């Protein structure tokens, strides 16, 4: 008997949805049904937004330090429930336990960081050009904010959005990915137990074509924060633009790791393995290209192939597993299609993997081999398009300048990495790489919440998640002038 999970709408846990039922299965074993969920639509969304709009006005009057105390409590509860949430997340999303524990930890870190903003939320005080006049700026809430979140980080990404939005005094509508709604339910249990007002936060589970579109079209949703594919993000931006709805987009990546001829190859190999195959390559920051100086390319490829061939693929709940399944059948088919494209493209050489795993213990899951292409050129589709799976393309270059040029030759600009012992080249890379994130002697994955997260070009629309910069997404600036001169003073005119 499948566990029946509920949506949370207008202060109530709701068992049924107007669009039917979503069934959530374990991608490592499709016989394991994680649960059944209400499939919501416009009816549920309308009820959620109406309640959120009313509750937000009261929440905005709660002192920011008090909001911070509630968010801090949520972080404490996540610490207590970390293992429970991580195990459930592995069942519904597939990635290994050490990674789902890290996913929860990122939510904890965000809670504690944002709780501290309760006693900051800094504005500016500035000198005015006229005598006996005072000027300052303060943050104000935006109103009802909606989060449309992906399945690959089902705790970290919602908390990146929810905690700063709550801190800024907003109401919340969360639409989790259809593949990972169970983790979202656990997050809402944490929020409610921490003392977040029940009418302020709403969990609408369902398909993007139904509840997602309803969010975009609702006139009382003031902001949409989306993380997902660039293709979907463009459509969301267009829909929001029609009504001038605020829109924050965090989208795709085609991230590269450069390895120069002076690099510590052992360190670079470890980084490449983690960056390419961590989370089964299902990260927007995953290392999908490795750019090698020609002097060390042959050695690196041979050692990389040997190490990757020993990665243990399997059920993420088993402690010996190093790489879990892909999230669903559709993603498994997408990855297989890109491998076929890579094989058919001119010159690309498949040196490892390339197959779905379907026999024996893999028969009931969506597993794929760690896959490496060598002799890839920058214009090949596998070097330009986001695959979102355990597939990495290796490109050879003759020098540092060509490496930077190849890295930048993509429509994306999220994460990047360079391995070198030359401090001068490291700083030139920091300057010249067109990406929102650059690592020196580290993989392209592993962002920390106290620094801004986001990218350039088609990776996003300029907003950032994490750090204090995310507050600019979820708040409005208000400028205030206090004239205590007792007479009319005219700025830019009465300045003589």
Query: Which DSSP string do the residues of 179-215 spell out, in sequence order?
Result: T-HHHHHHHHHHHHHHT--TTTEEE--S-IIIIIHHH
φ/ψ of 76, rounded to 5, equals: -60, -40
Q: Are residues 132 and 74 in the same domain?
A: yes
429 is a domain residue: yes
- What is the extent of the structural domain holding 429? 255-440
- Amino acid 26: pLDDT: 98
- What integer pLDDT is reported at residue 494 of this predicted model? 80
Q: Using the structure block, give the residue that is written with the tokens 């969506």.
A: 366
* Domain identity same for 261 and 244: no
From the list 44, 99, 106, 250, the catalytic residue is 250
| Dihedrals phi, psi of 34, to nearest 5 degrees | -65, -40
Distance CA 200, CA 412 (A): 36
Phi, psi (rounded to 5 degrees) for 11: 80, 5
Q: Decide: pTM greater than 0.85.
A: yes
Tokens standing for residue 203: 């969990």
Residues 469, 395 share a domain: no
pLDDT confidence of residue 496: 67
Pair 49, 188 in one domain: yes
Instruction: Tell me if 490 is assigned to some domain.
Output: no
pLDDT in tens, the chain (496 residues): 679 999 999 999 999 999 999 999 999 999 999 999 999 999 999 999 999 999 999 999 999 999 999 999 999 999 999 999 999 999 999 999 999 999 999 999 999 999 999 999 999 999 999 999 999 999 999 999 999 999 999 999 999 999 999 999 999 999 999 999 999 999 999 999 999 999 999 999 999 888 999 999 999 999 999 999 999 999 999 999 999 999 999 999 999 999 999 999 999 999 999 999 999 999 999 999 999 999 999 999 999 999 999 999 999 999 999 999 999 999 999 999 999 999 998 778 999 999 999 999 999 999 999 999 999 999 999 999 999 999 999 999 999 999 999 999 999 999 999 999 999 999 999 999 999 999 999 999 999 999 999 999 999 999 999 999 999 999 999 999 999 999 999 999 987 6
Q: Is there a catalytic annotation at residue 386?
A: no
What size, in residues, is the chain?
496
pLDDT value at position 345? 85
Q: How many domains does the chain have?
A: 2
CATH of the domain at 143: 3.40.605.10
Return the structure tokens found at 233.
């993000």
186 and 154, same domain (yes or no):
yes
Residues 79 and 207 in one domain: yes
Indicate which residue of 92, 284, 386, 465 is catalytic: 284
Q: Is residue 401 part of a domain?
A: yes
149 catalytic residue (yes or no): no
3-state secondary structure 90-153: HHHHCCCHHHHHHHHHHHHHHHHHHHHHHHCCCCEEEECCCCCEEEEEEEEECCEEEEECCCCC
Say if residue 291 is in the same domain as residue 388.
yes
């Amino acid at each position: 008997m499948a566990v029946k999970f509920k949506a949370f709408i207008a202060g109530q846990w709701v068992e049924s949805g107007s669009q039917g039922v979503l069934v959530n299965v374990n991608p490592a074993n499709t016989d394991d049904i994680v649960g059944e969920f209400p499939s919501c639509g416009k009816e549920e969304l309308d009820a959620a937004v109406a309640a959120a709009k009313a509750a937000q006005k009261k929440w905005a009057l709660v002192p920011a330090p008090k909001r911070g105390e509630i968010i801090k409590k949520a972080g404490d509860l996540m610490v207590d429930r970390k293992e429970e949430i991580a195990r459930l997340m592995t069942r519904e999303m597939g990635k290994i336990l050490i990674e789902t524990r890290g996913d929860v930890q990122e939510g904890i870190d965000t809670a504690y960081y944002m709780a501290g903003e309760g006693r900051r939320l800094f504005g500016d005080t500035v000198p005015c050009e006229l005598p006996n006049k005072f000027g300052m700026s303060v943050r104000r809430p935006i109103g009802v904010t909606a989060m449309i979140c992906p399945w690959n980080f089902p705790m970290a990404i919602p908390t990146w959005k929810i905690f700063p939005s709550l801190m800024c005094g907003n109401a919340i509508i969360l639409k989790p990915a259809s593949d990972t709604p169970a983790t979202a339910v656990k997050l809402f249990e944490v929020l409610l137990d921490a003392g977040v007002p029940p009418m302020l936060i709403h969990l609408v589970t369902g398909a993007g074509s139904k509840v997602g579109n309803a969010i975009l079209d609702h006139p009382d949703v003031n902001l949409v924060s989306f993380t997902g594919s660039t293709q979907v993000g463009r459509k969301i931006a267009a829909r929001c633009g029609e009504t001038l709805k605020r829109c924050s987009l965090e989208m795709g990546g085609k991230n590269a790791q450069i390895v120069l001829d002076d690099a510590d190859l052992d360190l670079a190999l470890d980084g490449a393995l983690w960056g390419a195959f961590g989370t089964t390559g299902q990260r927007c920051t995953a290392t999908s290209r490795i750019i090698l100086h020609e002097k060390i390319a042959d050695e690196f490829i041979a050692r990389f192939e040997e190490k990757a061939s020993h990665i243990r693929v399997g059920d993420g709940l088993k402690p010996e597993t190093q790489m879990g399944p892909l999230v669903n059948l559709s993603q498994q088919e997408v990855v297989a299609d890109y491998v076929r494209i890579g094989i058919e493209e001119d010159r690309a050489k498949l040196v490892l993997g390339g197959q779905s795993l379907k026999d024996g213990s893999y028969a009931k899951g969506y597993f794929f081999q760690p896959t490496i292409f060598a002799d890839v050129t920058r214009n090949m589709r596998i070097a330009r398009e986001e695959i979102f799976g355990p597939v990495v393309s290796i490109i050879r270059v003759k020098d540092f300048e060509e490496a930077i040029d190849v890295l930048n030759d993509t429509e994306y600009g999220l994460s990047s990495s360079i391995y070198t012992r030359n401090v001068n080249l490291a700083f030139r890379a920091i300057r010249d790489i067109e990406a929102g994130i650059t690592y020196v002697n580290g993989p392209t994955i592993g962002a920390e919440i106290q620094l801004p997260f986001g990218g350039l070009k088609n990776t996003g629309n300029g907003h950032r998640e994490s750090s204090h910069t995310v507050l600019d997404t979820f708040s409005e600036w208000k400028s205030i002038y206090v004239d205590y001169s007792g007479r009319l003073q005219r700025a830019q005119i009465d300045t003589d």
